Amino acid sequence: MSRSSFVKSTLILSAATLLSKVLGSVFRIPLQNIAGDEVLGIFSIVYPVYMVALILSVAGIPIAISKLIAEARAKNESEHIRQIYFTASILAILFGIISFTLIYSFSSSIATALGGPNTRLALIVVAATLLVAPYMAVYRGFFQGFEDMRPTAVSQVIEQFIRVGLILFVAYYLVNQGYSDDIIAGGVMAGSIIGALFSLLYLRITYVRSPFKLSSGGTYSYRTFSIWSINILKVSIPIAIGTITMALLNFVDSITIPYSLESAGIKTSDITYLYGIYGRGLSLVQIATVLATSIVLPLIPLITTKLTAKEHDETRAIIEKTHRITHLTSWPAALGLLALTLPLNLALFTNTAGSSTLAILGLSSVFTSLVVLGTGILQGMNLAKQAAMVIVVGVVLKTIANIYLIDLFGLMGAALSTLVVYIILFVINSYYISKQLTSKIVTIETGKIVFSSLTMAAIIGIPTLFINFTDWSRLQALAYAVIAILFGTGFYFIQLYLMRVINKHTIRGIRSK
């Protein structure tokens, strides 16, 4: 494949990843509208458990086998390609079976820890996706090893469209049939399984028809499996560690928030409803952080390649440019969510319940984006131990902060915990990155971006303090939010232009990125 074709394939993969993440974030809004906060609460509690298991089973496998296959191709070792493929397939199937078996076997205990038996069905149903997803990831990595990113891109879009479509259809059907919240939550989780199956089917058909299809000849032994397993795991485990940050902290929420609410005297039947309110904020955070999570995918190998070639100045420039783009987009998004919490809550989620919690979570999204980006950069810099330490620190801090702050402030304490912990993790990540390459994570330009975002947020947010949105319709609230966003965006960029943050040089830099 030529260089231009490879670049084109990579851009297609990045666009597909961005589209998939947008779909995976936005669908929670209509799900809440259709099924209510209780179902969204069960979904939001259960899904992080599945995501942690999925990341441990899948994350890293596509990149690991693509790297190993690319190396084997460079050395013209076709037999090694076959061995890598078969070994990865066996590992993926084993990981999937083990993960599903563990979750199914302990589903009652896990459900109790997650807030009650009404989460068990959803947990089991979504865990069944682990029987499919790891094997699907092998095909994605296989094609990427041949520098063909299109099958991965198309399969991601297929999986997400079918998953989201089925979730909303099943939710609508089951709600109209009058089923209980736990049945509805379990039903919508089936969308994940079907989406993964269709994606796998597409990848399998593409593989059979592709010129890269492997012959069935050659020998394969337990010794071969052992050797390649070690090689694959050496590459994939650090990637899994770097990918798991956000999912693991959400998993901590799934365990500690129900426990803390119950300890505070909240009835078990009300916990999923309250977590649904919290889930509203998580939906907005995921939308606000979608750019950062999409940037990380191509950034990791790029940084690794530059450092391997000892191009430290270029690596530093890439890191600083990526942080600049993230600051430019994340600060106005976070402060805009904070300023427009009331109208957005009403417009998107039918009422203004839990607006203080949503406001704090909206503000935290900027640090969530920066932490996701920073963890990816550490991973690309081969600082796997430091990345793992940051994650461990985050888990410990989040556990302690959730228990302590929820006891003091109720559900809002969980949001405060998220904000504080992500600020701390951002500082730690920045320290390691700056120490390694003396990169400037925060600059005078960052201060101008924050100031512009603050003034923009004040102008569009202060009027909401004097409006009684409970008397407004959802359409009126949406209209206010849209007009405020358009005005705020224009005002934000005008400030950046006047302060010379945005100029021809900056625009060229963003385009080159």
All structural domains of the chain with their residue ranges: 1-239, 244-513
Between 380 and 359, name the one with better pLDDT. Answer: 359
Angstrom CA distances, 91 to 56, 86, 95, 134, 135, stand at: 12, 9, 6, 9, 9
> What's the one-letter identity of residue 342?
L
**Residue 510 confidence (pLDDT):** 44
| pLDDT surpasses 80 at 242 | no
Q: 485 with 363: CB under 8 angstroms? A: no
Phi, psi of 507 (to 5 degrees): -60, -45
Question: In 3D, which of 324, 296, 323, 302 has the Cα closest to residue 314?
Answer: 302
Phi, psi of 134 (to 5 degrees): -60, -40
What is the C-alpha separation between 470 and 472, in angstroms, rounded?
6
| pLDDT surpasses 50 at 93 | yes
Can you tell me the mean pLDDT for 401-413?
A: 94
What is the C-alpha separation between 392 and 249, in angstroms, rounded?
10
**Residue 348 confidence (pLDDT):** 94
**Residue 2 confidence (pLDDT):** 45
| pLDDT surpasses 80 at 400 | yes
Can you tell me the mean pLDDT for 410-424?
A: 95
> What's the one-letter identity of residue 415?
A
What is the C-alpha separation between 98 and 325, in angstroms, rounded?
40
pLDDT digits (tens, 9 = 90+) for 299-332: 666 676 677 778 888 888 888 888 888 999 999 9
What token pair was written down for 349? 């989620």
Determine which helix (DSSP H) or strand (DSSP E) holds 262, and give its type and residue range: helix 245-263
> Measured between alpha carbons, how far apart are the two ends of the chain, in Å?
22
What is the C-alpha separation between 448 and 463, in angstroms, rounded?
24
Listing DSSP states for 91-155 in one string gives HHHHHHHHHHHHHHHTHHHHHHHTTSGGGHHHHHHHHGGGGTHHHHHHHHHHHHHTT--HHHHHH
Side-chain-facing half-sphere of 253: CA atoms under 13 Å: 34
pLDDT digits (tens, 9 = 90+) for 429-464: 999 888 887 777 788 999 999 999 999 999 999 999
pLDDT digits (tens, 9 = 90+) for 489-506: 999 999 999 998 887 555
**Residue 343 confidence (pLDDT):** 96
**Residue 108 confidence (pLDDT):** 94
pLDDT-wise least confident of 218-222, 348-352, 358-362: 218-222
Listing DSSP states for 401-461 in one string gives HHHHHHHHHTHHHHHHHHHHHHHHHHHHHHHHHHHHH---SS-HHHHHHHHHHHHHHHHHH
Q: How confident is the model at residue 511 (pLDDT cuts 50, 70, 90)?
A: very low
Angstrom CA distances, 28 to 139, 146, 250, stand at: 29, 36, 16
**Residue 402 confidence (pLDDT):** 95
What is the C-alpha separation between 398 and 401, in angstroms, rounded?
5
Please give the torsion angle defined by the CA atoms of residues 10, 59, 187 and 20, in that order, rounded to the nearest 10 degrees.
-20
Q: How confident is the model at residue 411 (pLDDT cuts 50, 70, 90)?
A: very high
pLDDT digits (tens, 9 = 90+) for 12-69: 766 777 788 788 778 999 999 999 999 999 999 998 988 888 887 776 788 788 888 8
> What's the mean per-residue pLDDT of the chain?
87
Between 280 and 293, name the one with better pLDDT. Answer: 280
Between 37-58 and 28-35, two packed helices, what is the crossing angle to 10 degrees? 140
| pLDDT surpasses 90 at 87 | yes
| pLDDT surpasses 60 at 6 | no
Can you tell me the mean pLDDT for 166-188?
A: 96
Q: 151 with 139: CB under 8 angstroms? A: yes
**Residue 301 confidence (pLDDT):** 60
